[in-house]
Structures are given as C-alpha cells and as structure tokens.
A and B are shown apart, each in its own frame.
Chain A
Amino acid sequence: MSFGPAPWQQTNWDWRAAGNFICGGAGAGLIVLAALSGAVGAAFTGLVLAGLALVGLGLFCVWLEIGRPLRALHVFFNPRTSWMTREAFTATLLFPVGLAAAAAVPGCAGVAAVLALAFVYCQGRMLQGAKGIPAWREPLLTPLIVTTGLAEGAGLFFLTEPLHATGTQAMLAIFGTLVLVRMLVWFAYRRRLAAAAAPGANLALDRAGRMLQIAGTLVPLALIAAIVGGAVSAAQTPLIAAIAGLAATAAGAYTKYAIVTRAGFNQGFALAHLPVRGVRP
C-alpha cells in the first residue's frame, strides 16, 4: 500500500474540451450519415449544415478553453506529430468542402464524409495521445470515439428525421449496427482499462457505461426492433425513431463528457524500489 499523492482528476480540460468531443463527434457523424443516406436537396443541405454547425460549436468550445485565444492560429504549427493540429487542419478542409456539398456541388458529399470521418478519428487520436491519463491513452479509445461519433450522428439523423423525412429501413439498420458496435467497443475498452485506471476513473466509467448500455444501446435497439418488426404504426415511426435517436445521442454525449471530465485521472507517482537505508532488508 502506498500513501503518496493518489491519482487525481486532471483539471486542465473541462466541459469546454468535452464540448469539442461531444459536438465535433456528433456533427462529423451526422455529415457521414447524411452522405450515406443518399438524401438530396434541402434535406441533405440541412443535415450537412447542422453537422458543420456542431463541429464549429465544438471548436468554439475549445477556443473558449485555451489560455491565449488570440494565438489560436498557432494550433496549425505542428502537423508532423500533434493530433490537435491535424484535427484543426481537417476541420479547415471540412468546412469549405462541407459547404460545397451542402450547395450540391457534385462529388463533394463523399469527400465531406471522408473528411468528417478523418476529423472524428483525429479526435480519438488526440485523446489517445494524452499519455498522462490512463483512461485516455488506451488505444481502444480511438475506435470508441469514432464509433460513438458515428452512432451520435445516426442518432441525430433520426432525431431530426421528422424534419427531413429521409429515414429508411436501411438507415435504421445502419443506426442499429452503429449503436451495437459502439457498445461492443465500449465493453472491450472497459475490459482493457479496468486494471490500469484509478478507482475514481473506473467508478465514473462504470456509471457512464450503465447509461450507454441502457439509454444508449438497449432503448434504441428495442425501438428500432419495434419499428422494423412492424409493432409501430407508420404514423408513429418518426416519433419512435426520434426517441431512439435522442437516447443514443444523449448517452454518447454523456459518455464522452464522463471520459473527459470524470475519468481523466492521472496515474499518480510510483516507485519501482524503496530506498535502502543502512543494511539491506
């Protein structure tokens, strides 16, 4: 037993940093899902613009967090090794391409989706690069951030489906698959991390995990099954799908919030050997 300073929750990144992962991931996911849906016209434009707005909101959250906001452009200085720089570059490309896609410029929808995917991947790698935080440096966090971003995007797609009416059975199947894959990645992540994380981090992750399992997975899957199985009338389908989307999105957002602001315990200090004073024991 060691009575040194036990691992403590990092305080450098708070809700503003979490906001970037929540909004950026969901926004990028929505752009990907919009491209996958095959939506056209105003529906596609609206979805892509909403996705870009979320990505922008996330970046604005980060801007609020940095100590020297007037130097924000310095974030572009280290593309060679920094995933934060790479995220910034990807976002810089995503906005014009996304706007072009929203304006129905041919070929841009697919490129925007790829850039959105790259953006959310950068976010995962960014957290993984934080070597001082065991719950973040775990390599499985990157696939978790990517899958939860996509699942949240799918959730937002169906949450807004009453507005754009482009939801199909195929999109429902994609939504269900993403929710399921996210849960499987979460289980793998938790299993790998259980021994390495501080007790406080495990507690926060378990709480988030319960939310993700019930609200983020079981509820959406049950509702999707009800729709696909014909238990829901056609008139009620958009509402039920929207509830499923809301549950999946909210649970994903809470999970990321918990990972960043609740499970960000460092690993404290450790001595490989105790000092030997006088004679050896």
Chain B
Amino acid sequence: MTRWAMVADLRRCVGCQTCTTACRHANATPPGVQWRRVLDMEFGEYPDVHRAFVPVGCQHCDDPPCMHVCPSKATKKRADGIVTIDYDLCIGCGYCAVACPYQARYKTDKALFAYGEPTQSEAKRHDAARLAVATKCTFCVDRIDAGVEKGLTPGIDPEATPACVNACIASALVFGDLDDPQSNVSELLAEHQHFRMHEELGTGPGFYYVWDKALP
C-alpha cells in the first residue's frame, strides 16, 4: 500500500512563503485562498521568546471529519490517503469547513482576481466549477497521479511532487510514501522527533512536524 504524507521540518522553515506562492501558481487559487499557508508564530515573553514558521493546510487525515460530515459524498479519501473533493457533487454547505480542525477549507462565492479584472493568466485558468463549493489542498494529486503513471516517484521526482515541496528553498517540506520504510518521509520521521497538529482529536493527520533530532 501507499500512504502519501508530508513532513514539515520546523527547524528549517524560514517563513519565506515560497510554498504558498508556488501553490497559488500551480493551483490558480483566487486572492485570499491559500491552500498552503505558513503561520508566523511567536512564543514566550521577552527575553525568553521563540519564533516558529509553521506550514499548514489540509492534513489529509486518516479519519477525516470533513469526509464524514459531507452530506453529498463530495469529499472522499483515496486508498493512498489523499482527501479529495468532487466539485460537481459539492453543494457548498460549508459543513466540511466547520468540521475541519485545521481551517484548511475555503469557499469562494464569487470570482475574485488579484487586480479586479482578470489578468490573461487568471482568465485562462479560471475554473467556474470551483465557485461556491469547498476547495482545499489536494497534495497536487494530478501531478502525483500523472507522475506515478510515468513511473516517477512522488517526493523524489519534481514532476510528480506537490508544487509547495518543489518550491521550498530550505527543503523544509518533504513528501513521500509513509508505508515505504525506505522513503524519504519514513527515514526523516525515524531519525527525528515529530508530532502532528491537534493529534488529540483523533483525526490522524498525514502531515507531520519535525521539531528535533531523535534522542540519543
């Protein structure tokens, strides 16, 4: 089996938001919609303060609450762990958005463009099917599927890898097959201490955060 997962190394992320931009470019998301976001978080009180840049987005959960609540079955989970939305089934009720503990889902009711009128690129890539329905990170599923079909390895071969991972300047984002013990993500997680966001909710996110090397 394959279980696609993403790892964000919090020690490496510098908060440059190149992943955010790459995602927006690859997926033609409208202004205000960031399927891959990077949070700038500060902790502590002066002089003992810490800062962390935290990439967030759809966590492609093992047990996605968004899928369970969806009344139209528009949200599904594939066998490889990727959570998808069928835009033709979605009724835009927003139930999935309030069920997601990671604020990963967006609903845009009207076409929005960066400068009011659509640029040539925006006009060409505008997809009316994504209006008034739920949208979110897809792990660039089209790239993965097309790459796998060509015999490429997602997470290794850029052509088959999510745009945000390809774009990361610090190699802070890593993508791969969690079920393969030799994969880049499996080895990274084996060699480091890591956690998942809001793990207590039992959603089983497919998105891991590395925070330190493994204890000796």
Task: Give every chain A residue within 8 A of B209 (Cβ-Cβ).
Answer: 271-273
State whether A65 and B41 are in contact (beta carbons under 8 Å apart), knowing that A88-B71, A132-B100, A269-B54 are contacts in the complex. no
Residue contact A274 to B50, C-beta cutoff 8 Å: yes
User: Cα distance A84–B213 when bound, in Å?
Assistant: 44
Task: Give every chain A residue within 8 A of B109 (Cβ-Cβ).
Answer: 67
Residue B156 is within 8 A (CB to CB) of chain A in the complex = no
Task: Give every chain B residue within 8 A of A83 (Cβ-Cβ).
Answer: 69
User: Cα distance A198–B67 when bound, in Å?
Assistant: 25
Q: How many A-B residue pairs have CB under 8 A?
A: 163
CB 8 Å contact bits of B34-61 with A (1 = contact, 0 = none): 0000011111110000101010100000
Q: Which of B88-96, B118-126, B143-151 contacts A (4 or more CB under 8 A)?
A: B88-96
User: Cα distance A136–B99 when bound, in Å?
Assistant: 10
Per DSSP, chain B at the interface is mixed
Q: How far is the CB of A69 from chain B (nearest CB, A)?
A: 8
Residue B25 is within 8 A (CB to CB) of chain A in the complex = no
| Chain B residue total in the interface (Cβ 8 A) | 53
Residue contact B94 to A82, C-beta cutoff 8 Å: no
Task: Give every chain B residue within 8 A of A266 (Cβ-Cβ).
Answer: 101, 103
CB 8 Å contact bits of A41-59 with B (1 = contact, 0 = none): 0000000000000000000
Task: Give every chain A residue within 8 A of B90 (Cβ-Cβ).
Answer: 67-68, 71, 74
Q: How far is the CB of A3 from chain B (nearest CB, A)?
A: 4
Chain B 173-216 interface residues, beta-carbon cutoff 8 Å to A: 193, 195, 197-199, 201, 203, 209, 211-213
Q: Which residue of B45, B92, B101 contacts A132 across the interface (Cβ within 8 Å)?
A: B101
User: Cα distance A13–B102 when bound, in Å?
Assistant: 17
Task: Give every chain A residue within 8 A of B92 (Cβ-Cβ).
Answer: 66-68
Residue contact B69 to A130, C-beta cutoff 8 Å: yes
Residue contact B99 to A130, C-beta cutoff 8 Å: yes
Residue B133 is within 8 A (CB to CB) of chain A in the complex = yes
Task: Give every chain A residue within 8 A of B91 (Cβ-Cβ).
Answer: 66-69, 71-72, 74-75
User: Cα distance A88–B72 when bound, in Å?
Assistant: 12
State whether A77 and B73 are in contact (beta carbons under 8 Å apart), knowing that A3-B43, A67-B133 are contacts in the complex. yes
Residue contact A264 to B93, C-beta cutoff 8 Å: no
User: Cα distance A3–B54 when bound, in Å?
Assistant: 12
Q: How far is the CB of A151 from chain B (nearest CB, A)?
A: 25
Task: Give every chain B residue within 8 A of A75 (Cβ-Cβ).
Answer: 71-72, 91, 93
User: Cα distance A2–B69 when bound, in Å?
Assistant: 31
Per DSSP, chain A at the interface is loop
Residue contact B71 to A78, C-beta cutoff 8 Å: yes
Residue B132 is within 8 A (CB to CB) of chain A in the complex = yes
User: Cα distance A2–B98 when bound, in Å?
Assistant: 23
Residue contact B98 to A84, C-beta cutoff 8 Å: no
Residue contact B10 to A275, C-beta cutoff 8 Å: yes
Residue positions of A touching B, CB distance < 8 A: 1-5, 10, 12-13, 17, 62, 65-69, 71-72, 74-78, 81-85, 88, 126, 129-133, 136, 264, 266-267, 269-277, 280
Q: Could you name 24 residue pairs across A and B whose Cβ atoms are closer than 8 Å? A: A2-B42, A13-B98, A67-B94, A67-B109, A67-B131, A71-B90, A75-B72, A75-B91, A75-B93, A82-B69, A83-B69, A84-B71, A84-B95, A126-B69, A130-B65, A130-B69, A131-B101, A131-B203, A132-B65, A264-B98, A271-B41, A271-B197, A273-B209, A274-B50
